[in-house]
């Protein structure tokens, strides 16, 4: 039994292992761990307290995948619900679909009896206002909802990983099944309705118990374009170690072109319990590992594989 997660998963990793030790499934463990990150208002890129979109609304994305069946559930751009990862699980279990977004996802969450609440905290609202007022005056800010040129301001978007990080969990349960999950509020000041890689199976999340599971944080648009999580598992299938699979997907990301390129982080756990973490951001980025024999999570340093980063060609 093993859990690996991004560093902000610290609040949930022990609970996730307890779920496994109580004979819960890998999917149960991933959901339990991520719920605790979603409830942590100090983390400004996941769940409660997540930074809002350009209009000041918190829009959340989440997905999980069961590596034993490759059944998946995801929600995107959902507002007003505390635990998108659990709504994603309900999509997996109750619907023939994989991904619900926006109003449809919210309607489904209500049908399933999920808790509704305001997700914008005072701290996140103040950060939003303060940052936007650096580039626009107060009347412009007030009229943003009616303006027809929101696209101009989206240049303000910033990577959640730089301010706390999307959360990733991968679990291997007592019978060797793998599951993976991702939850995020996405990029700060993103265009309303923007989805990153977190709810896109194959981009930010992929699990196949035969080979391994991979999850991403960072600039979701890049992982969508490169199919990063799925590619990592194909590399495992072809015999690469997690470290080599991670290196190859990062090198592939480095071949992307265009004006908007930022950082990426990848976590990989293979079916043998070997793990790797990659980052293109900076030295000293970590991830956490906990197996059933350990009394506390161990911190591992991600391998730094620098990729080209520029924003609108700057
Ligand atoms: N990787 C999270 C996002 O781009 O929204």
Question: How many angstroms separate the alpha carbon of residue 218 from the centre of ligand 1?
Answer: 5
**Catalytic annotation on 215?**
no
Q: Is the per-residue pLDDT at 162 higher than 90?
A: no
Task: At 216, list the tokens.
Answer: 């991403």
Say which residue, 34 or 152, is predicted with more confidence.
34
Q: Which residues contact 134 (CB under 8 A, 6 or more apart)?
A: none
pLDDT confidence of residue 205: 98
Question: How many angstroms separate the alpha carbon of residue 229 from the centre of ligand 1?
Answer: 13
Return d(Cα 182, Cα 62) in angstroms, integer: 5
Does residue 187 have its Cβ closer than 6 Å to ligand 1?
yes
Does residue 219 have its Cβ closer than 6 Å to ligand 1?
yes
What is the pTM for the complete model shown? 0.96
Q: Kindly indicate the confidence band of residue 294, based on its pLDDT and cuts at 50, 70 and 90.
A: very high
Q: Is the per-residue pLDDT at 228 higher than 80?
A: yes
Q: Is the per-residue pLDDT at 159 higher than 70?
A: no
Does residue 186 have its Cβ closer than 6 Å to ligand 1?
yes
Domains identified in the chain and CATH numbers: 2-311 (3.60.20.30)
Percentage of the chain exceeding pLDDT 90: 86
Say which residue, 160 or 174, is predicted with more confidence.
174
Return d(Cα 91, Cα 63) in angstroms, integer: 9
Return d(Cα 313, Cα 117) in angstroms, integer: 40
What tens digit of pLDDT does each residue of 108-151 get?
A: 999 999 989 999 999 999 999 998 998 899 999 999 999 998 98
Does residue 188 have its Cβ closer than 6 Å to ligand 1?
no
Q: Is the per-residue pLDDT at 155 higher than 80?
A: no
Catalytic-labelled residue, pool 15, 140, 166, 167: 166
Question: How many angstroms separate the alpha carbon of residue 84 from the centre of ligand 1?
Answer: 15
Helical packing angle, 10-21 and 26-38, nearest 10°? 150
Q: Whose CA is nearest to atom 5 of ligand 1?
A: 186
Task: At 76, list the tokens.
Answer: 């995107």
Question: How many angstroms separate the alpha carbon of residue 96 from the centre of ligand 1?
Answer: 25
pLDDT confidence of residue 163: 44
Residue 304 neighbours by CB distance under 10 Å? 14
Question: How many angstroms separate the alpha carbon of residue 196 from the centre of ligand 1?
Answer: 4
Average pLDDT score over residue span 178-183: 98
Does residue 50 have its Cβ closer than 6 Å to ligand 1?
no
**102-105 contact pairs (CB < 8 A, 24+):** 102/76, 102/77, 102/78, 102/193, 105/75, 105/76, 105/77, 105/78
Q: Kindly indicate the confidence band of residue 314, based on its pLDDT and cuts at 50, 70 and 90.
A: very low
Task: At 289, list the tokens.
Answer: 């590992």
Sheet-wide strand order for 2-6: 99-101, 71-78, 60-66, 178-184, 167-172, 2-6, 286-291, 298-301
Atom of ligand 1 nearest to the CA of 216: 1
Atom of ligand 1 nearest to the CA of 166: 2
Q: Is the per-residue pLDDT at 157 higher than 80?
A: no
Averaged pLDDT score across all residues of the chain: 94
């Amino acid at each position: 039994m093993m859990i690996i997660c991004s560093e902000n998963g610290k609040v949930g990793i022990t609970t996730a292992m307890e779920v496994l030790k109580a004979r819960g499934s890998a999917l149960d463990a991933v959901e339990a761990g991520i719920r605790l990150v979603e409830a942590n208002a100090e983390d400004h890129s996941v769940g409660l307290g997540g930074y809002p979109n350009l209009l000041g609304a918190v829009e959340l994305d989440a997905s999980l995948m069961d590596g034993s069946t490759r059944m998946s559930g995801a929600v995107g751009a959902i507002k007003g619900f505390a635990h998108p990862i659990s709504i994603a699980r309900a999509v997996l279990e109750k619907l023939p679909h994989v991904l619900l977004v926006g109003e449809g996802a919210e309607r489904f969450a209500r049908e399933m009896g999920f808790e509704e609440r305001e997700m914008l905290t005072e701290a996140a609202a103040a950060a939003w206002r303060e940052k936007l007022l650096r580039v626009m005056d107060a009347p412009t800010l007030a009229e943003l909802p009616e303006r027809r040129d929101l696209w101009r301001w989206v240049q303000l978007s910033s990577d959640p990983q730089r301010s706390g990080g999307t959360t990733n969990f991968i679990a291997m349960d007592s019978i060797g099944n793998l599951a993976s999950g991702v939850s995020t509020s996405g990029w700060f000041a993103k265009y309303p309705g923007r989805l990153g890689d977190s709810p896109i199976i194959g981009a930010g999340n992929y699990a196949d118990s035969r080979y391994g599971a991979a999850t991403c944080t960072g600039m979701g648009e890049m992982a969508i374009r490169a199919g990063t999580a799925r590619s990592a598992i194909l590399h495992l299938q072809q015999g690469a170690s997690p470290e080599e699979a991670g290196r190859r997907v990062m090198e592939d990301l480095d071949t992307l072109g265009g004006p908007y390129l930022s950082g990426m982080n990848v976590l990989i756990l293979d079916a043998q319990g070997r793990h790797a973490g990659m980052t293109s951001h900076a030295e000293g980025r970590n991830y956490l590992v906990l197996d059933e024999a350990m009394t506390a999570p161990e911190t591992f340093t991600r391998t730094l594989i620098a990729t080209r980063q520029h924003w609108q060609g700057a």
